[in-house]
A and B are shown apart, each in its own frame.
Chain A
Amino acid sequence: MEFRKDLFQNERDDNLNVVGKGVQRQDMPGHVTGRSPFFDDHAFEGLLHLKVVRSPHHHARIRRIDISAAERAPGVKRILRGADVPVNKNTLLSLINFGKDDEPSLAVDKVRYKGEPIVAIIAESEAQALAARALVRVEYEPLPAVFDVEEALKPGAPVVNDTYPGNCFEYHEKYDHQKLRFGDVERGFAMADHIVEDRYQMSPIEHAPTETNGSIAAPEQNDRFVVHSCAQGLFFSLGTAAKIVNLDSNRLHFIGGTVGGGFGGKVDSLTEPLAVLGAMMTGRPVRYVLDREEEMLHGGPRGAERIYIKDGIARDGRILARHIRSYFDAGAYTRLSSYAAIKCTAHLPGPYTIPNVTSDIYVAYTNRCPSTAMRGFGITAVDFALEVHMDKGAEACGLDPVEFRILNAYRDGDMKAHRRVAKNTALIECVQVAAEKARWPLSEEAQRQSSLTGGGGARAEIPATPIDENGRINRPETRGGRPTQTLPAGTMRVPMTKQPIMEGSTENRPSAPSVPQYEPYRPATAAPPPPPPPVPASRSAAPPPPAAPPVPPPAGPAPASQHGAHRFSSVFGTRRR
């Protein structure tokens, strides 16, 4: 490992106790002796085992469930169905009042993805639970399914998730997508010499932790239930389980923290609620562990994304406008996709200073396994798309792709599209070091650039911004509408017209909102032909250094200290100070 002591010297404290030093981890002796206590490494007298009947269909109505033969099978102690679950509808972020409950623990009337749980069998041994599971008879009426995010948003598409009949998550009871508006992209495109647009797609990715999701719940003598859990967010899981089984949270005693690989795939409380319910119903310890196939079918992946990017670029390589439209594939239920779209929006337009930016980010429901958190979810795919697009932009204006990034990189003091001032920026230095490592020649001007200088000034201004009501829930007439008003330059915030309403007020909505068609860009005049591809070794046209002189960052709002509550506040649509 190499520490670049020459960069950002005054931002680093060299007097650190742990960073930069080799320190033995405290859990290592347990790991190498096989004694680290993972959730399943606990012995219980009279332990029962829970196995689940899952949907073989992507989308079907459940006509009948017959558990009579399974109930008589050897070793079976209890069979759970949807009606046995006290609160059989939940959404994970309901713990912070975000989104409507949409996912049952055990499906009742419909199944909405292949692998959805329907019936839980609790038996003396795993083998007995599996044998009894094979005796459960479910009659299905298969329904049309939809697997493509854009197909799902078209009028007449099969309704995946009845809580959101438009097949999209609804933000603040107001919009069918997350909006970002900064400056006037149409004007930016009109001024541009090159228009570059393309479509990007990323498939779902399964975390595949070596330890599958699971938990053991057992009654304690003090009228509580102990739960050994694999959860990545132990108290998140405690709250979720308490809600679903309708117990006060102080009656649950969660033990965890030793997790056999998570990567985001152990935040959904996939097993804890049913394990606790099983322990409540039987009075005995209940173990519910997904097998590997269930982990694939029922444990959510990083969701697929489809991303459209359109850039307007000046002849000298400065990006004047960027429009992004993206679709998150939530699968059949929300889980954490609503948050993924917020993270994505907060990340746009990438680490670049672009004076005109808009984005519309949709969360679409399809008949796939619900998708959830995974390492940088909401960011990874759009970063891939943005950086491929940067290469295409550089090619369009005949610039070296590395210099093109340095030219457009954000710098300390610049205003970001979210109306916050950029600070601690480091893209220029990262790119310079990467070029050096890759022996990629940079012009002298590019080597002289710094994140600490050249930002702010004109680049710190908030431009006049047209805003619109496109995608307003229940307002089809707003489709493809013109801007409704223009916020004057310098406007930091749009006041909320009403407090967001979180729970169920728009159930049984009559019409499904749909999504405007994205018009491919047709330039009024033919764009000039792209110049020949650049040759890194001998470039003649290096980009000019930014014009603005270095200025100290503008006063702006006082930056509050960063902590978790602050970050999550974007979920509520309000910003805490």
Chain B
Amino acid sequence: MPLALRVAQSLSEAAGILAADPRVTLLSGGTLVMRDVNEGRLTDGTLLRVTDPAWRQMQVSGSRIELGAAVTMAAILANRELAFLHAAARAVGGPAIRNMATIGGNLFAGTPYGDFAVALLALDAQVMVLAGYGSARAVPLEEFLAGRARGESRLVAGIQFNRPVAPGDFRFLKVSRVKPKGLSVLSIAAHLPGSGSRIGQARVAYGAMAPLPFRARGVERALEGKALDAAGIAAARAAALEGVQPVTDAIASDWYRREVLPVHLGRLLAERG
């Protein structure tokens, strides 16, 4: 049977529908799901729309930021409080896509898409997950992505993370061959507390350097207690490739991604914060 459509008024209703039927596909901005429909990869089951306004709410004033999963890239770009995330939001598509694509949907995008999730990974984001009726449970993004890879189906209600203390502590870079908009050769997000003097508890994440966005723990270790001077950057570059498993796709080969990653990491770290 061709696809059916259901509409849920609330997030918990949607979570219940999702939990009850594995053939239900949740629709957020549509940029991933409708493509699968258009190309005939998704031909049966049910699409689920959610009209709950809570899904698009934003709490951005304090140090703890809470974003509904259906917040769009355009909404982030329109918010001055989220200026540190503008580079990551702008990395997603052109203006039309940014008016549609949501931060929750980005967590489900396969390589070489999903650059915004890379930024969230470096920010140590918690994913607010609804697994059936009931209240949301916070899951670290890294754990959530691993679950996604195992095929777990859960409704993302929202995302929470701490605002970086200094604006220069958070950096994001997307490398693509077509400017100003193109698919990722790779993307790098770095949260560098203490970037003005000595780094402590750095979190660095890569996109397109593995099947999922993934944390560059070698770089994080190499930066611990270091300044972002030539020696600190050299140490980070030396550890840049630890654990990477880049894909070979139409955009770049595994080899090319490995070759250019340390160069771009070095440039990102050398930016003046």
Contact = CB atoms under 8 A, between A and B. Distances in A.
**Are A and B associated in one complex?**
yes
Interface of A: 51, 74-75, 127-128, 130-131, 133-134, 291-293
B178 interface: no
Interface in B37-88: 37-40, 43-44
A291 B38 contact: yes
A53 to B, nearest CB: 10
Contacts of A127: 2-3, 37, 43
Contact of A133 (B1, B3, B38, B40): B40
A131 B3 CA distance: 9
Nearest to B43: A131
Given A74-B1, A74-B2, A131 B44 contact: yes
A293 B2 CA distance: 21
Contact of B39 (A75, A128, A131, A291): A291
Interface residues of B, number: 9
Contacts of A291: 38-40
A133 B40 CA distance: 8
B40 A134 contact: yes
Interface of B: 1-3, 37-40, 43-44
Nearest to B1: A74
Given A130-B43, A131-B43, A133-B40, 19 more contacts: A51-B40, A74-B2, A75-B2, A127-B2, A127-B37, A127-B43, A128-B2, A130-B40, A131-B2, A131-B44, A133-B43, A134-B40, A134-B43, A134-B44, A291-B38, A291-B39, A291-B40, A292-B39, A293-B39
11 contacts: A51-B40, A74-B2, A127-B43, A128-B2, A130-B40, A130-B43, A131-B2, A131-B44, A133-B40, A291-B39, A291-B40
B13 to A, nearest CB: 26
* Chain A, interface SS category: helix
A383 to B, nearest CB: 25
The 7 closest A-B pairs by CB, nearest first: A130-B40, A131-B43, A131-B2, A134-B43, A127-B2, A130-B43, A291-B39
Contacts of B40: 51, 130-131, 133-134, 291
Nearest to A134: B43
A292 B35 CA distance: 11
Contacts of A74: 1-2
Contacts of B1: 74, 131
Contacts of A293: 39
Nearest to A128: B2
Nearest to A131: B43
Chain B CB count within 10 A is highest, among A51, A74, A131, A292, for A131
A74 B1 CA distance: 7
Contacts of B39: 291-293
Nearest to A292: B39
Nearest to A291: B39
Contacts of B2: 74-75, 127-128, 131
Nearest to B38: A291
A414 to B, nearest CB: 43
A75 B1 CA distance: 10
Contacts of A133: 40, 43
A30 B39 CA distance: 30
Contacts of A75: 2
Contacts of A128: 2
A145 B1 CA distance: 37
Nearest to B37: A127
A51 B41 CA distance: 13
A469 B2 CA distance: 62
A128 B43 CA distance: 8
Nearest to A135: B43
